[in-house]
Amino acid sequence: LIVSLNIPLRVRNLVNRHDTSDPYRIAKELNCSVYFLDLPSTVNGFWKRTLRRRTIAINKNLPEWQQAAVLCHELGHIVCHGRYTAFSMRNVSYSNTRIEREADEFATYLMAYRYNLDEYYVSQFLSEGWRS
């Protein structure tokens, strides 16, 4: 059974519910702690849940725009796949699983809202190099 997540609708509802497209404010309103850590160069970020507390770790060595993209991606995991945790690794094809593709799609739509960009442009940008 394949369930459609309707990710564009989820992003729109999230933005409307929190009255912002700022991923940092959304994370705060979802009670997610965000930490910038000195992670290995192969790890962009990850999220985990410990005792009902959600934590997002982002590689502090990434450029600011890429940190925002990683945060959007990890929020996608939390909103769409709350039971799973995953690492965002630079040396792994980011679309190698359905869950990763969905998190990337979520990040694409959230970034398009945030920066008022055409979704096609953001999609191309993400697929061609935001992890390189």
Query: For residue range 50-74, what is the model confidence (pLDDT) as tens digits?
Result: 888 899 999 999 999 899 999 999 9
Asked if the model's pLDDT at residue 94 lies above 80, the reply is: no
Report the predicted TM-score, pTM, of the whole model to 2 decimal places: 0.80
Asked if the model's pLDDT at residue 89 lies above 70, the reply is: no
Q: Going from the N-terminus, what domains does the chain have, and what CATH number goes with each?
A: 8-129 (1.10.10)
Strand order in the sheet with 53-59: 32-37, 53-59, 43-50, 87-89
Query: What's residue 120's pLDDT?
Result: 72
Query: What's residue 70's pLDDT?
Result: 94
Contacts of 80 (CB under 8 A, 6+ apart): 5, 7, 10, 99, 102, 103, 106
81: closest CA among 118, 48, 112, 110?
A: 48
